[in-house]
Structure formats: C-alpha cells, structure tokens
Structure 1
Amino acid sequence: MNLALPRMPVLSFGRPTRVVVPRKLAEHTRIDAAAECDPRDVGLDPKAVAGIWTAVERLYRTGLQPAITLVLRRRGRIVLKRSIGCLRGNGPGERGPLVPLSPDTPICLFSASKAISALLIHKLAEQGKLRLEDLVVDYIPEFGAHGKHRVTIRQLLAHRAGVPALPDDVDPSPELLRDWDRCVRMLCEAKPFDVHFERQAYHALTAGYIVGELVRRVGQIDLHDALNGWLARPLGCRHLTYGLPEARRDDAPHHWMTGPRPLGPLARLAKDILGVEFDVATAASNTDAFLSSVVPAGNIYATADDASRVFQMLLDGGEFGGVRVLQPHTVREAIHPVGRIQWDATLHFPIRFSAGFMLGEEPFGLFGPHCGEAFGHLGFMTVLCWADPRRDISVAMLNTGKSIAPMGLLRTVGVMNAIAHACKPV
C-alpha cells in the first residue's frame, strides 16, 4: 500500500458514458407529497428547502446519475421524500420504455452498509454477549494468526484490524462472495499490514466478514434474521435486506459506471479501495452472486426512507416511532470517536471513525460544512447516509451512477451545502 495521492486526477476523456436528461425534469421526478411536511413546521424556510431539491436537479443534469432518491428528516419529520431518474430504460446506452423511479425504490447502500452491520455488534454488546474491548480471538480463535490476536472488536469496527484487503493472489470475482467460509478463512490467515494495529486503513469489504462471523457465532443467529429482527422490523422498514430476493429484483435499478474511466494513479487508488477495477466493481454489483450473497460491508439494499429511519433512530437516542430499538448508551458507544483524526492508509485522506461510522469535521467534512457532530457513512463515491445532531437532521441520498467525474463530485458537494444552508443549527 505505497500508493501516493496524485496531484491532479488522471482521467480518460474518451467517449463519456452519460444518461439522457430531459429538458423538463418533471418527466423523471416523483414526489411523495403525502409524506412531506410543511418546512415551516420544523423551522425551515420553504425557499431554502426548495434550494436543496434544485441542487439535486443540478446533480441529475450532469447525466452521471441514472437515478437519485433523497429523504431528509428534520426534528423527526420528513421534509423531502423525492426521486429523480428512471428505474430502467435510461441507463447509459440502455433501450426500452422509460420507467420512472419511485421514492420507495430499494437501492444498494454499498459501503454505507458497514454502519448498519456494525449496529448488530452493538446490539450484542447491549445484550451483554460481548464487549467492544474484547479481543476478536475470544470468539474467533483462528483470527489470531500472524499477531492478529491483539485486535479488539472496537479496532475491527474502526478499520484498525490490519487486513484492509484480500491477499494479492486471490481472484476477487463475484463468485467469491458466495463462499462465506472461504472469505472468513482467508482473512483469519492473512498477515496484517501493520503489526502494531495503530494505523487506520479503510477495510472496504474485509472487516465485514469478521463482523458478520462475530454476529453468527456470538448471537447464534443468521445475519438476515439479525438485521430483520433487530433493526428492519422495529423500524418499520420496507426493505433493509442483505442483497435482494429474486422476487424483488425487478423493483430495483441497475448500477452504472458513468463519465470518464479512471486511469493512472486514480485508477490504482480506486482499485486499492475497491479491490478491483472501478468498472469491474460496478458490473459485479449487478450480478446474481452479489444480489444473492450476504456482504455485511457492502450489499444492504434499502429505500432512502429506510436508511433515514436508521439514522433518525440513532439521532433520537435509539428510539423511533415510539419503539425502543437500541438503548441510549449503545448509541453513544456506537458514534464515539476511536482516536483522533488520522490519515487513512487506504483512502489517502484524513478521516475519523467511530466503531462503525465515518465522522464529520470542522470547518468542512464528509457531510458538509460545520458537520463536526455528524456521523454516517459514504457508499461507492456518492451514496450518503448521515445524521447531524447540531442540525437535528437525518439524511439518505441514494443513487445508481458510479463515477469519478469531477463535476458529479462537485454537484454532490453542492447538495450537502444546500442541506447545511437550509438546516441551520438548532
């Protein structure tokens, strides 16, 4: 992992891959007006809230996002629940009748799945079945190979377990996702890149398998059942599942690589994070192997409302809709920082983690300006789920375009800036 950040992104400016954007965006827009409250009822200026959706429309106009859904809650009430784009018929080069996306369409959270899977560990801690300071080997003895016997569960959740990637000689094809036991075994046998377990290195998919194995062994429960019983059902979620059952797959959109293809150092950085080339990772997310498997760090499917419910529950100290999902002390433990901000050896930028969540910063961080109290997670570049106690908001923005195009990233930042502008600190 000796990759250095390029001073300037290196892109292939061959024929870009984008979707057709209609002049009248209303053709591709769906609003759940019955769900949205009057912004003034939660202390917001309607014009500023309209500015949030204008920022989403500007992102869509780049042609880099075939579909976007957004749910924004303020003081626990839905202010925006909208979608723009198509479920099918308007992917890059796709032909066929246009089917507009519904705000209640399930979309993959990708790496934002990590935060939700981490809550299963926190639930076990709440039940008194483990502690975050326990060693992983207390429950998975074989994980202790090559000095990893010193890794705690907290370090595992905070990307300090020393195994950010699979061994170089492993074929990372989608079919590998079907073999849970092999994935766990390889990670148990892997040599850590940092024998002191002090360096933070984002574990894109790897740590999720050990997290999942802990849930299985300690909780004596299947991961599907844990996710459904401990989170999805109490929160009243429509989906929130690992992968998608075949019967539901027609209800979910494909994911598309859009814009220029990364080359040079940027391509190597993307592969360092994802484990495979950028386009290969995107294509893999549409395969049966991905949709049929349990990938705790990367394949939870949810609607934007489902994801927002999870973060609203955390924002409200573990309760949602009058139902106690987690205890307040469990939530505090889940979002408490693990150490100070550190230069991440995989992501190659500074970021703080808690035991499962990416954390905001001052004066500007992952979740926008002045987001020092915010917690959430990023998924495959531009999927964003977070809560900000200072603004009393929970947000989920899900999308289907996978792109490193600068304009798309800038417009995504524009959406977060618009949210911060509209939702002043309370």
Structure 2
Amino acid sequence: MSRVGRFGARLVDVPASLAPVTAIAPGEAAPGATDLTPRAVDAVWRAVEDLYRSGAYPGIAFCLRRDGVTVLDRTLGHARGNGPDDPHDAERVLMTPDTPVCLFSASKAVTAILVHKLAEEGGIDLDAPVARYLPEFAGRGKARTTIAEVLSHRGGFPLFQAPDDDAPTETLLDWDRCIELICGAPPTHRRAPRMAYHAITGGFVLAEVIRRVTGGEFTDYLDSRLRRPLGMRHFTFGLPEGERDAVARNYTAGQPVRFPLTLAVKRALGAPFEEVVDISNHDAFMRAVVPAGNLYATAEELSRFYQMLLDEGEYEGRQVLSPATVRRAVKPAVRLRFDHTLMIPMRYSEGLMLGANPFGLYGPLSARAYGHLGFMNILGWADPSRRLAASLLVTGKALLGGHLVALGELLTTIAWQCR
C-alpha cells in the first residue's frame, strides 16, 4: 500500500525487512575479489537501501564495478504493482537484475558515443556543420552549427516546440515530424553558442546524421557497433513486443511538481511532467525510437558500457572504440558554466555530463568522472580516479523530496569507500 509523506509527497510502501524485495545477480564477485573490503561494499549497499527507504522509488537497480570486477549487481523493490497510486490489491512483480528499465536522458550518452564511432570510421567530421550531412538543418540561421556544438549542448536549439495543433507526446514519437520541426526552427540564441541542455532535440539530429551517412537505421548502427560487440541482451531504443511485459513501470512520485517548476519541465521536455511519465508506460513509446530518451537496459548493461569507456574502448579483448575516440568523447568541451535549460552550473564533454569539484553530479571530488543523468535520478558513470563504473536505475520520477538527501549520501558513500 502506498503512503503520503510530508507536504503531500507520493511514496511507496517500504517493508520493515528489505530481504523479501532484494534480488542479487549471480555474477556478483565474491568478497575480496577487488581491493574493496567487504565493509566498504556493505557500506555502499546500505546507502542504496537507505535510498529505497526514502519511499520515492518503487524499484531500484544498482551495479558497481571496481577495476572491471562486478562487486554489486542488485535490485530493490518492484518492477510494477507498488507505485504511489497503485491500488492495495494490485499484483506486485519484483524487480530483478534482468529487468529492463528505460534510461530516459541517460540514453544520450549512447547516442553520443555512436556519433563518435561514426567519426572514428571516417563517416563524419565532428567539427563540420550539421548541415553538411543534414542539408535542411541549415535553414533559419543554423548553417554554421557543428556536430561538436550539438554534442556539447551549444547547438542553439535546446527547446522542442510543437505547434499548438500537434499533440506534444504524439509528436515526440514521430521521428520524421520531429526532424521537420527541429530543422525548421530558428536558433534560440543567434550569436555565440550558449550552453543550454538539449533535452530532446539534439538526440534526433545526431541520430538522423547517422541515418543519412550510413544509409541504414540508427538502431542497426547501435546493434552492430555497441550492442552485439558488448554482448548485451537489451540495450535497445524501444523494446521488442515480446519483452514489454518484463519492463519496469515508471511512476510519478515524491513531492507534487508545482508552478513554476511545471513550466520549466514542460519547456525542457515539450510536455507536462506527469504526461511524460504516463506515455513512457505505453506500447507506443516502447515501439518508437527516441534517440535522446528511450534506451532500455539493465543496471549491469549500463555499467558494462561505462566500463568499456573506462578501459579506453576495450571489452573482453576486443577494441570496440579506439582509445583516441574515447579520449575525445570524455574530454571537457566547456568549463563549468550556467546551463540555460537546467538552470544550474554544468560541465559537458562532447556528449557526456562531467563531474566537478568539490561536489558534482557523481559525488564529491568527481571532476574526472563522466556519464549522464536520466529522468529522474537515473545515473550511469565512470570515474577514472576511483577505477569504477556504476549505474543507478530508478522507476520513481520524483523531482523534489527527501530522496535527494539519500541520493547525495549514496554518491558520497561511493566516493569515500572507493578511494
């Protein structure tokens, strides 16, 4: 049964004992397989449990690699049936390490790496204008915008604005319509590129460049360059029909999103907060390909992706990306500065969100870390300083609430225990 917290927060029912809602993958390494002590590993897991106890997440999946060894690969809670608004008698299906979860904006990291791979193969020049490969993009003052600027959120078209007679969520699931609208829109800032997170728009443009240059589908390029070389089961944009029954359901949770945050969220995503959460659970969303927002993966798969980057593009003896490609992909493209979409200071590489000192997206003293955030509190990242690759997948979409304190404590615990 769900519960209501302070100030009307929508929370899930959390049992006194977490053992019945905990699942552990068989691939976890035995204690002592790395230089992390059992006590350090236990401290990290207790912090994950504390995050679950905040009540904002019906399901959590967490995976942590140290020196390439999986020390934690576990889930907590339910894939569906224990959401804040679910009826008391709803069937509860446990979350497991094999449960695919929508990564939302954490998907952008994968799209960006595919663009870097295409550059490695000689298909594109990252410093060339987008319009060289997508001619219709040049209209309305965007002729000089480069692929590198789009990757680092300086493309000048951060907002997705559908006409009033278009249904926002339906438009987001129509690839060709999105490309038409983005190419036909003027930049929001015509002078020097201004940093503003491209929540939806950049992904479509980058993926369309891949389609135009390769002559094939964006998903085929993902499959041949990353998914199959990394041995992934899921790791797809959208989900095949036969796998949709196993997917984790997304829920609106935490404090109600109120004005003026409602306007800021709608401005960035192109649709109201709760509408975005709702549409993500529909078959139409899982059939579609949204390059900035609907990659499905397990926590272990996302951690595996970042471990490959940490290993300079190598996976199980195979060079998936060249070391030079990885170095450019993770290199800072802009110093810490104000992001005009997210309304907070951010650091970006050409495609990834970077950590910061003294405290950043991936915890304290994380300036060398790189990864990406997903809607809301989904994280995948690598930290060369701590020799770790980690992922945190959550199904509660909570913008504000006490869970943020627990999230900060988890990131801090990982940072200190993995020194």
TM bucket (normalised to shorter chain) is: over 0.9
The CA distance in 1 between the partners of 2:153 and 2:102, in whole Å, is 22
Q: Which residue of 1 aligns with 2:80?
A: 88
Percent identity between matched residues is 46
1:261 to 256, 274, 277: 256
| Range moving further from structure 2, 296-305 or 286-295 | 286-295
Q: Does structure 1 residue 149 correspond to structure 2 residue 161?
A: no
Contact kept in structure 1, 2:299 and 2:391, CA below 8 Å: yes
* In 1, Cα distance between equivalents of 2:57 and 2:355: 25
In structure 2, the residue matched to 1:9 is: none
Residue equivalent to 2:355 = 360
Contact 1:352 1:359 in 2 (8 A): yes
Match of 2:405 among 403, 407, 410: 410
Q: Equivalents in 2 of 1:78, 1:109: separation in Å?
A: 20
1:25 aligned onto 2:43: no
1:226-281 CA distance string (max 9 Å, x none): 11111011001110000111110111111000122111222222223222221111
Q: Is the 8 A contact 2:59 2:394 kept in 1?
A: yes
Alpha-carbon distance, 1:412 to partner: 1.1
User: Conserved in 2, the CA contact under 8 Å of 1:120 and 1:227?
Assistant: yes
Q: What residue number does 1:279 align with?
A: 274
Q: Distance in 2 between matches of 1:223 and 1:110?
A: 17
Shift in Å, 1:209? 0.7
Q: Give 1:212's aligned residue.
A: 207
> What is the SS of the residue equivalent to 2:61?
strand
SS of equivalent residue, structure 1 residue 128: coil
Give the match for residue 106 of structure 2: 112
The answer to whether the Cα contact below 8 Å between 1:259 and 1:405 also exists between their aligned partners in 2 is yes
Shift of 1:168: 5.7
Q: Give the conservation status (yes or no) of the 8 Å contact 2:154–2:194.
A: yes
Q: C-alpha separation between the residues in 1 aligned to 2:16 and 2:138? A: 58
Q: Distance between the aligned counterparts of 2:418 and 2:169, measured in 1? A: 41
- Give the whole-Å Cα distance in 1 for the aligned partners of 2:171 and 2:200: 12
Give the CA deviation at 1:59: 1.1
When the two chains are superposed, the root-mean-square deviation of aligned CA atoms in Å is 1.5
Once the two structures are TM-superposed, the CA of residue 14 in structure 1 deviates from its matched residue by 5.7
Aligned pair 1:57/2:57, yes or no?
A: no
Deviation at 1:40, TM superposition (A): 2.9
Question: What are the ranges of 5 or more consecutive residues in structure 2 without an aligned counterpart?
Answer: none
Other structure's SS at 1:247 match: helix
Residue 61 of structure 1 aligns with an amino acid whose one-letter code is R
- The answer to which of 160-169 and 211-220 deviates more is 160-169
Among 37, 48, 61, the residue aligned to 2:29: 37
| 1:178 equivalent in structure 2 | 173
Aligned-partner SS, 2:373? strand
Normalising by structure 2, what TM-score?
A: 0.95
* Greater alpha carbon shift after TM alignment, 34-43 vs 393-402: 34-43
Structure 1 unaligned spans of 5+: 1-11
Q: How does 1:296-375 map to 2 (within 5 A)?
A: 296-375=291-370
Cα deviation, residue 89, structure 1: 2.2
Query: Within the alignment, does 1:75 sit opposite 2:67 as a pair?
Result: yes
User: Are residue 103 (structure 1) and residue 92 (structure 2) matched?
Assistant: no
Mapped contact 1:124–1:130 kept (Cα < 8 A) = yes
Matched, 1:140 2:137: no
Contact 2:33–2:69 (CA<8 Å) still a contact in 1?
no
Picking from 391, 397, 409, the partner of 1:396 is: 391
How far 1:110 sits from its partner (Å)?
Answer: 0.5
Separation in structure 1 between the aligned mates of residue 187 and residue 407 of structure 2, nearest angstrom: 35
